[in-house]
Protein backbone atom coordinates (compact mmCIF):
# COMPACT_ATOMS: atom_id res chain seq x y z
CA UNK A 1 0.00 0.00 0.00
CA UNK A 2 1.12 3.54 -0.75
CA UNK A 3 -0.35 5.67 2.05
CA UNK A 4 -0.35 9.44 2.21
CA UNK A 5 -1.50 10.63 5.62
CA UNK A 6 -2.00 14.06 7.13
CA UNK A 7 -2.90 15.34 10.57
CA UNK A 8 -1.51 18.13 12.66
CA UNK A 9 -1.74 20.79 15.30
CA UNK A 10 -2.26 18.58 18.35
CA UNK A 11 -1.18 15.16 19.54
CA UNK A 12 -4.81 14.07 19.28
CA UNK A 13 -4.49 14.27 15.49
CA UNK A 14 -0.89 13.05 15.22
CA UNK A 15 -0.76 9.96 17.45
CA UNK A 16 -3.65 8.13 15.77
CA UNK A 17 -1.88 8.69 12.44
CA UNK A 18 1.36 7.26 13.83
CA UNK A 19 -0.52 4.27 15.26
CA UNK A 20 -2.10 3.59 11.88
CA UNK A 21 1.30 3.76 10.18
CA UNK A 22 2.74 1.33 12.74
CA UNK A 23 -0.09 -1.13 12.14
CA UNK A 24 0.35 -0.86 8.38
CA UNK A 25 4.08 -1.59 8.63
CA UNK A 26 3.32 -4.69 10.68
CA UNK A 27 0.74 -5.90 8.19
CA UNK A 28 2.59 -4.89 5.02
CA UNK A 29 6.30 -4.20 5.75
CA UNK A 30 6.95 -3.08 2.17
CA UNK A 31 4.31 -0.33 2.30
CA UNK A 32 5.35 3.23 1.45
CA UNK A 33 4.17 6.14 3.61
CA UNK A 34 4.34 9.91 3.23
CA UNK A 35 3.19 12.16 6.09
CA UNK A 36 2.16 15.73 5.20
CA UNK A 37 2.10 18.35 7.94
CA UNK A 38 3.14 21.92 8.62
CA UNK A 39 6.55 23.36 9.47
CA UNK A 40 5.47 24.92 12.77
CA UNK A 41 3.08 22.24 13.98
CA UNK A 42 3.83 19.64 16.63
CA UNK A 43 3.96 17.03 13.87
CA UNK A 44 7.15 18.61 12.46
CA UNK A 45 9.00 17.45 15.58
CA UNK A 46 7.23 14.17 16.32
CA UNK A 47 6.91 12.56 12.87
CA UNK A 48 10.52 12.87 11.58
CA UNK A 49 11.74 11.46 14.91
CA UNK A 50 9.85 8.27 14.02
CA UNK A 51 11.80 7.93 10.77
CA UNK A 52 8.70 8.59 8.66
CA UNK A 53 9.10 10.56 5.38
CA UNK A 54 7.66 14.01 6.05
CA UNK A 55 6.75 16.97 3.85
CA UNK A 56 5.11 20.28 4.71
CA UNK A 57 2.62 22.74 3.31
CA UNK A 58 1.74 26.18 4.67
CA UNK A 59 -1.77 26.72 5.99
CA UNK A 60 -3.60 28.42 8.85
CA UNK A 61 -7.02 28.32 10.44
CA UNK A 62 -9.88 30.77 10.03
CA UNK A 63 -10.49 33.41 12.67
CA UNK A 64 -13.88 32.94 14.31
CA UNK A 65 -14.60 36.67 14.13
CA UNK A 66 -14.72 38.85 11.01
CA UNK A 67 -11.12 39.56 10.11
CA UNK A 68 -9.07 40.58 7.09
CA UNK A 69 -6.74 37.76 8.10
CA UNK A 70 -9.37 35.33 6.78
CA UNK A 71 -8.69 36.55 3.21
CA UNK A 72 -5.06 35.50 3.71
CA UNK A 73 -6.30 32.16 5.07
CA UNK A 74 -8.36 31.56 1.92
CA UNK A 75 -5.33 32.33 -0.24
CA UNK A 76 -3.15 30.00 1.79
CA UNK A 77 -5.75 27.24 1.57
CA UNK A 78 -5.92 27.46 -2.22
CA UNK A 79 -2.11 27.44 -2.46
CA UNK A 80 -1.87 24.52 -0.03
CA UNK A 81 -4.34 22.52 -2.12
CA UNK A 82 -2.17 23.20 -5.18
CA UNK A 83 0.97 22.17 -3.26
CA UNK A 84 -0.76 19.01 -2.01
CA UNK A 85 -1.88 18.27 -5.57
CA UNK A 86 1.80 18.24 -6.68
CA UNK A 87 2.82 15.99 -3.79
CA UNK A 88 0.04 13.56 -4.66
CA UNK A 89 1.15 13.49 -8.31
CA UNK A 90 4.72 12.71 -7.22
CA UNK A 91 3.93 10.15 -4.51
CA UNK A 92 1.01 8.41 -6.30
CA UNK A 93 -0.82 7.18 -3.16
CA UNK A 94 -3.31 4.33 -3.23
CA UNK A 95 -5.27 6.10 -0.48
CA UNK A 96 -5.08 9.43 1.37
CA UNK A 97 -6.02 9.66 5.05
CA UNK A 98 -6.75 12.73 7.18
CA UNK A 99 -6.75 12.55 10.98
CA UNK A 100 -7.70 16.18 11.62
CA UNK A 101 -6.24 19.66 11.73
CA UNK A 102 -6.26 22.29 8.99
CA UNK A 103 -3.40 20.68 7.09
CA UNK A 104 -5.39 17.51 6.53
CA UNK A 105 -8.17 19.60 5.00
CA UNK A 106 -5.99 20.72 2.10
CA UNK A 107 -4.37 17.32 1.52
CA UNK A 108 -7.55 15.23 1.60
CA UNK A 109 -9.51 17.78 -0.46
CA UNK A 110 -6.77 17.78 -3.12
CA UNK A 111 -6.87 13.99 -3.24
CA UNK A 112 -10.64 13.94 -3.63
CA UNK A 113 -10.36 16.31 -6.60
CA UNK A 114 -8.05 13.74 -8.21
CA UNK A 115 -10.57 10.94 -7.49
CA UNK A 116 -8.13 9.12 -5.21
CA UNK A 117 -9.75 7.06 -2.41
CA UNK A 118 -9.90 9.16 0.74
CA UNK A 119 -10.63 8.40 4.41
CA UNK A 120 -10.88 10.71 7.40
CA UNK A 121 -10.76 9.71 11.05
CA UNK A 122 -12.59 11.60 13.80
CA UNK A 123 -11.24 11.05 17.31
CA UNK A 124 -13.79 13.06 19.29
CA UNK A 125 -17.49 12.81 20.01
CA UNK A 126 -17.97 16.29 18.52
CA UNK A 127 -16.83 16.57 14.91
CA UNK A 128 -14.10 19.10 14.10
CA UNK A 129 -14.54 21.83 11.49
CA UNK A 130 -12.06 20.29 9.05
CA UNK A 131 -13.61 16.84 9.15
CA UNK A 132 -17.11 18.26 8.83
CA UNK A 133 -16.01 20.03 5.64
CA UNK A 134 -14.20 16.97 4.27
CA UNK A 135 -17.07 14.58 5.03
CA UNK A 136 -18.84 15.76 1.87
CA UNK A 137 -15.92 14.72 -0.36
CA UNK A 138 -14.29 11.63 1.18
CA UNK A 139 -14.94 7.97 0.47
CA UNK A 140 -15.23 6.74 4.07
CA UNK A 141 -15.19 8.11 7.63
CA UNK A 142 -13.85 6.34 10.70
CA UNK A 143 -15.19 7.38 14.11
CA UNK A 144 -14.09 6.75 17.71
CA UNK A 145 -17.38 7.65 19.47
CA UNK A 146 -20.85 6.59 18.38
CA UNK A 147 -21.99 10.12 19.27
CA UNK A 148 -20.14 11.37 16.16
CA UNK A 149 -22.10 9.17 13.75
CA UNK A 150 -25.11 11.48 13.39
CA UNK A 151 -22.85 14.41 12.49
CA UNK A 152 -21.66 12.75 9.26
CA UNK A 153 -23.30 11.36 6.09
CA UNK A 154 -24.58 8.04 7.46
CA UNK A 155 -23.59 5.79 4.53
CA UNK A 156 -19.92 6.76 4.81
CA UNK A 157 -19.44 6.10 8.52
CA UNK A 158 -17.59 3.13 10.03
CA UNK A 159 -17.01 2.75 13.77
CA UNK A 160 -13.33 1.87 14.17
CA UNK A 161 -12.27 3.33 17.50
CA UNK A 162 -9.05 5.29 17.94
CA UNK A 163 -5.92 3.61 16.48
CA UNK A 164 -3.93 4.88 19.47
CA UNK A 165 -5.66 2.19 21.54
CA UNK A 166 -3.88 -0.51 19.55
CA UNK A 167 -0.46 0.79 20.58
CA UNK A 168 -1.12 0.61 24.32
CA UNK A 169 -3.56 -2.30 24.65
CA UNK A 170 -0.88 -4.98 24.94
CA UNK A 171 1.17 -3.14 27.58
CA UNK A 172 1.49 -4.86 30.96
CA UNK A 173 2.30 -3.66 34.50
CA UNK A 174 6.04 -3.28 34.99
CA UNK A 175 8.58 -1.89 37.44
CA UNK A 176 8.32 1.63 36.02
CA UNK A 177 7.01 3.18 39.25
CA UNK A 178 10.13 2.16 41.13
CA UNK A 179 12.16 4.52 38.96
CA UNK A 180 10.19 7.35 40.58
CA UNK A 181 10.59 6.10 44.13
CA UNK A 182 7.11 4.60 44.32
CA UNK A 183 6.13 1.07 45.42
CA UNK A 184 4.67 -1.36 42.90
CA UNK A 185 2.48 -3.05 45.52
CA UNK A 186 0.53 0.07 46.56
CA UNK A 187 -2.50 1.48 44.70
CA UNK A 188 -1.26 4.42 42.67
CA UNK A 189 -3.09 7.45 41.29
CA UNK A 190 -1.79 9.48 38.35
CA UNK A 191 -2.69 13.17 38.30
CA UNK A 192 -1.84 14.51 34.87
CA UNK A 193 -3.16 17.56 33.03
CA UNK A 194 -1.53 16.79 29.69
CA UNK A 195 1.97 17.39 28.35
CA UNK A 196 1.78 21.12 29.07
CA UNK A 197 -0.08 20.65 32.35
CA UNK A 198 -3.38 22.16 33.47
CA UNK A 199 -3.28 25.11 35.87
CA UNK A 200 -6.58 24.38 37.65
CA UNK A 201 -5.76 20.70 38.14
CA UNK A 202 -2.34 21.67 39.46
CA UNK A 203 -3.77 24.27 41.87
CA UNK A 204 -6.35 21.85 43.28
CA UNK A 205 -3.74 19.13 43.69
CA UNK A 206 -1.33 21.46 45.51
CA UNK A 207 -4.18 22.48 47.83
CA UNK A 208 -4.91 18.80 48.55
CA UNK A 209 -1.28 17.76 49.17
CA UNK A 210 -1.35 18.27 52.97
CA UNK A 211 -4.08 15.61 53.20
CA UNK A 212 -2.89 13.39 50.35
CA UNK A 213 0.41 12.77 52.14
CA UNK A 214 -1.53 10.94 54.89
CA UNK A 215 -3.23 8.47 52.55
CA UNK A 216 -2.40 4.78 52.14
CA UNK A 217 -2.34 5.09 48.35
CA UNK A 218 0.37 6.74 46.25
CA UNK A 219 0.20 9.73 43.92
CA UNK A 220 2.34 10.57 40.89
CA UNK A 221 1.61 14.23 40.18
CA UNK A 222 2.81 15.40 36.74
CA UNK A 223 2.61 19.19 36.56
CA UNK A 224 3.73 19.94 33.02
CA UNK A 225 7.08 21.61 32.38
CA UNK A 226 5.77 25.19 32.28
CA UNK A 227 4.24 24.90 35.76
CA UNK A 228 6.82 22.80 37.57
CA UNK A 229 9.20 25.48 38.84
CA UNK A 230 6.43 27.67 40.20
CA UNK A 231 4.91 24.70 42.04
CA UNK A 232 8.29 23.60 43.37
CA UNK A 233 8.95 27.11 44.70
CA UNK A 234 5.53 27.27 46.38
CA UNK A 235 6.18 23.95 48.13
CA UNK A 236 9.69 24.81 49.24
CA UNK A 237 10.23 23.81 52.87
CA UNK A 238 7.02 21.78 53.06
CA UNK A 239 6.96 18.05 53.75
CA UNK A 240 5.45 16.43 50.67
CA UNK A 241 5.09 12.88 51.93
CA UNK A 242 6.81 9.64 50.91
CA UNK A 243 3.69 8.52 49.02
CA UNK A 244 3.72 11.52 46.68
CA UNK A 245 6.10 12.16 43.79
CA UNK A 246 5.99 15.36 41.73
CA UNK A 247 7.50 15.49 38.23
CA UNK A 248 7.32 18.05 35.41
CA UNK A 249 6.96 15.54 32.59
CA UNK A 250 7.07 11.79 31.85
CA UNK A 251 8.68 11.17 28.47
CA UNK A 252 7.32 7.65 27.95
CA UNK A 253 4.00 7.99 29.70
CA UNK A 254 2.16 5.17 27.82
CA UNK A 255 4.69 2.63 29.12
CA UNK A 256 3.90 3.71 32.69
CA UNK A 257 0.09 3.69 32.34
CA UNK A 258 -0.53 -0.01 33.16
CA UNK A 259 0.88 0.59 36.65
CA UNK A 260 -1.86 3.01 37.73
CA UNK A 261 -5.05 1.98 39.49
CA UNK A 262 -6.73 5.30 38.58
CA UNK A 263 -6.08 8.51 36.66
CA UNK A 264 -7.27 12.06 37.21
CA UNK A 265 -6.84 14.14 34.08
CA UNK A 266 -8.26 15.71 30.95
CA UNK A 267 -10.68 14.02 28.53
CA UNK A 268 -8.84 14.37 25.26
CA UNK A 269 -9.39 11.72 22.62
CA UNK A 270 -5.91 10.20 22.92
CA UNK A 271 -6.14 9.92 26.71
CA UNK A 272 -9.53 8.24 26.50
CA UNK A 273 -8.30 5.80 23.86
CA UNK A 274 -5.42 4.83 26.15
CA UNK A 275 -7.33 4.45 29.41
CA UNK A 276 -10.15 2.46 27.85
CA UNK A 277 -7.73 0.17 26.02
CA UNK A 278 -6.03 -0.57 29.36
CA UNK A 279 -9.20 -0.52 31.48
CA UNK A 280 -8.04 2.21 33.87
CA UNK A 281 -10.69 3.90 36.06
CA UNK A 282 -10.62 7.66 35.64
CA UNK A 283 -11.74 10.95 37.12
CA UNK A 284 -12.09 13.24 34.13
CA UNK A 285 -11.72 17.02 34.33
CA UNK A 286 -12.55 18.19 30.79
CA UNK A 287 -10.81 21.28 29.50
CA UNK A 288 -13.41 24.06 29.07
CA UNK A 289 -11.17 25.80 26.53
CA UNK A 290 -11.50 23.39 23.60
CA UNK A 291 -13.75 23.85 20.56
CA UNK A 292 -17.42 23.02 21.18
CA UNK A 293 -16.56 21.73 24.67
CA UNK A 294 -15.85 18.34 23.06
CA UNK A 295 -13.89 17.04 26.06
CA UNK A 296 -17.00 17.21 28.24
CA UNK A 297 -18.91 15.21 25.67
CA UNK A 298 -16.03 12.72 25.44
CA UNK A 299 -16.08 12.33 29.23
CA UNK A 300 -19.84 11.85 29.39
CA UNK A 301 -19.53 8.92 26.99
CA UNK A 302 -17.41 7.13 29.60
CA UNK A 303 -19.51 8.26 32.55
CA UNK A 304 -22.75 6.89 31.11
CA UNK A 305 -21.03 3.51 30.70
CA UNK A 306 -19.74 3.48 34.28
CA UNK A 307 -16.12 3.76 33.17
CA UNK A 308 -15.30 7.19 34.64
CA UNK A 309 -16.40 9.98 36.93
CA UNK A 310 -16.83 13.58 35.80
CA UNK A 311 -15.41 16.43 37.85
CA UNK A 312 -16.03 19.73 36.01
CA UNK A 313 -13.23 22.27 36.25
CA UNK A 314 -15.71 24.82 37.61
CA UNK A 315 -16.18 22.54 40.65
CA UNK A 316 -12.52 21.57 41.02
CA UNK A 317 -10.96 22.59 44.35
CA UNK A 318 -8.59 20.96 46.80
CA UNK A 319 -11.44 19.53 48.91
CA UNK A 320 -13.50 18.33 45.91
CA UNK A 321 -10.45 16.66 44.38
CA UNK A 322 -9.63 14.97 47.68
CA UNK A 323 -13.21 13.77 48.22
CA UNK A 324 -13.52 12.33 44.70
CA UNK A 325 -10.08 10.72 44.74
CA UNK A 326 -10.56 9.19 48.20
CA UNK A 327 -13.89 7.67 47.21
CA UNK A 328 -12.25 5.88 44.29
CA UNK A 329 -8.84 4.99 45.69
CA UNK A 330 -10.28 3.60 48.93
CA UNK A 331 -12.81 1.38 47.16
CA UNK A 332 -11.14 -1.46 45.29
CA UNK A 333 -14.47 -2.97 44.29
CA UNK A 334 -15.55 0.26 42.63
CA UNK A 335 -12.24 0.49 40.77
CA UNK A 336 -12.61 -3.06 39.51
CA UNK A 337 -16.14 -2.36 38.23
CA UNK A 338 -14.98 0.80 36.46
CA UNK A 339 -12.01 -1.04 34.99
CA UNK A 340 -14.28 -3.68 33.45
CA UNK A 341 -16.57 -0.96 32.06
CA UNK A 342 -13.63 1.00 30.62
CA UNK A 343 -12.17 -2.06 28.95
CA UNK A 344 -15.52 -2.84 27.32
CA UNK A 345 -15.27 0.56 25.64
CA UNK A 346 -11.67 0.00 24.57
CA UNK A 347 -10.90 -0.88 20.97
CA UNK A 348 -7.55 -2.70 20.92
CA UNK A 349 -8.16 -3.67 17.29
CA UNK A 350 -8.87 -0.06 16.21
CA UNK A 351 -5.80 0.41 14.00
CA UNK A 352 -6.49 -2.88 12.19
CA UNK A 353 -10.15 -1.96 11.74
CA UNK A 354 -9.15 1.36 10.17
CA UNK A 355 -6.63 -0.45 7.94
CA UNK A 356 -9.45 -2.72 6.78
CA UNK A 357 -11.40 0.40 5.80
CA UNK A 358 -8.42 1.67 3.77
CA UNK A 359 -8.08 -1.64 1.97
CA UNK A 360 -11.78 -1.70 1.15
CA UNK A 361 -11.79 1.77 -0.41
CA UNK A 362 -8.71 0.91 -2.47
CA UNK A 363 -10.34 -2.27 -3.82
CA UNK A 364 -13.63 -0.55 -4.60
What's the CA dihedral at 180, 183, 188, 193 to 10 degrees? 0
Task: Output the pLDDT for position 58.
Answer: 85
Task: Output the pLDDT for position 216.
Answer: 94
Rounded to an integer, what is the distance from CA 199 to the centroid of its chain? 19
Provide the edge-to-edge strand list for the sheet that holds 2-6.
54-56, 32-37, 2-6, 95-98, 118-122, 140-143, 157-159
Burial class (CB in 10 A: 0-12, 13-18, 19+), 254: middle
What's the CA dihedral at 242, 205, 248, 257 to 10 degrees? 80
Which of 52-67 are b and which e, b meaning 16 or more Cβ less than 10 Å from the residue's Cβ?
A: bebbbbebbbeeeeee
- Beta strand 262-265 with 308-310 is unpaired
Cα angle value 153/33/272 (rounded, 5°): 55
Question: The dihedral of CA 158, 60, 136, 21: what is its sign?
Answer: negative
If we measure between CA atoms, which residue out of 91, 103, 129, 121 comes closest to residue 37? 103
Please compute, for residue 145, the number of CA atoms within 13 A of its CA located in the half-sphere on the CB side. Answer: 28
Task: Output the pLDDT for position 26.
Answer: 96
Task: Output the pLDDT for position 69.
Answer: 55
pLDDT in tens, the chain (364 residues): 999 999 998 888 999 999 999 999 999 999 999 999 999 889 999 999 999 999 999 875 554 554 555 445 666 778 889 999 999 999 999 999 999 998 999 999 999 999 999 999 999 999 988 999 999 999 999 999 998 999 999 999 999 999 999 999 989 999 999 999 999 999 999 999 987 889 999 999 999 999 999 999 999 999 999 999 999 999 988 889 999 999 999 988 889 999 999 999 999 999 999 999 999 999 999 999 887 888 999 999 999 999 999 999 999 999 999 999 999 999 999 999 999 999 999 999 999 999 999 999 999 8
List domains and CATH numbers for the chain.
2-167+348-363 (3.40.50.2000), 171-345 (3.40.50.2000)
Task: Output the pLDDT for position 11.
Answer: 87
Task: Output the pLDDT for position 9.
Answer: 84
Task: Output the pLDDT for position 297.
Answer: 93
Task: Output the pLDDT for position 63.
Answer: 47
Could you give the maximum distance between any two Cα atoms of the chain, in Å? 67
Amino acid sequence: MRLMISGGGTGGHIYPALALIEALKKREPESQVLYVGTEKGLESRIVPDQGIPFKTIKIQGFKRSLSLENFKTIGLFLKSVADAHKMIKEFRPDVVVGTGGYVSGAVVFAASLQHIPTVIHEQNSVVGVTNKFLSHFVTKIGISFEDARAQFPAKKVVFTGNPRATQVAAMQPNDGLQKYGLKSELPTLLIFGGSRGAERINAATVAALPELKNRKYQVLFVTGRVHFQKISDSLSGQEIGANIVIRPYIKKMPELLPNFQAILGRAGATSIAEITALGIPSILVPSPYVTNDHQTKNAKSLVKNGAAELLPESQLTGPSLLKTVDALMNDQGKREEMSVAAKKMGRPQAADDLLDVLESVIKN
